[in-house]
Amino acid sequence: MNNEQLVVHPCGIINAHSTMYHHEAVSNVLLLIEQIYSLLHACKPQHLIYNSNCNALHEVMSCQIKFFDGISMCSDAFNHQTKHKASDTLCHNHCDMKAYPELLDEDGGYYFNSSIAEQINVWFGAFHNICHEMTPVKYKFFLDRMIIQRNRVTLATLHAQGKRPYHPCFT
């Protein structure tokens, strides 16, 4: 069973994807993030929001992965409230989005939808039956084309709403 992992910006633009075989291992997700943001001209994110970031932060700290120094590792708001143990103090002290004032608006809400990746997974899941019988090359090509098309629509929608998404490293 394949498991497609998406890296999504808060505005809904899909930055990257990777196929993981059998299951989503936190160590593989960390490796994916490190590979993506180690590319030439890539800019490491200030915040990494991932539903299993409590486990990821434990791994980063236990393995002393220096790449993640300076990156806050939050769980999306819904997952943090419903799926993490109250006894995990590392998680509650470092993975709660409310601990980072720069992510909050004046009313204490979030500047963006922290569950956008989960919502995009629903869109992405609609292609599962189409892709099930494809060869790996056709599968990757198809998903790449669908992501490009979705990103174009998302960008056009954002511009129509008067929003101007940008990458802070290039401005």
- Burial of residue 91 (number of CB atoms within 10 Å: 0-12, 13-18, 19+): buried
The contacts of residue 15 (CB under 8 Å, 6+ apart) are 7, 8, 9, 36
Domain definitions of the chain by residue range: 2-162
Confidence tier at 1 by pLDDT (50, 70, 90): low
What pLDDT is attached to residue 114? 78
**169 has pLDDT over 80:** no
| C-beta separation of 68 from 60 below 8 A | yes
**131 has pLDDT over 90:** no
What pLDDT is attached to residue 166? 65
d(CA 29, CA 117): 14
Q: What is the pTM of this model?
A: 0.80
d(CA 136, CA 5): 15
* Percent of the chain's residues with pLDDT above 90: 26
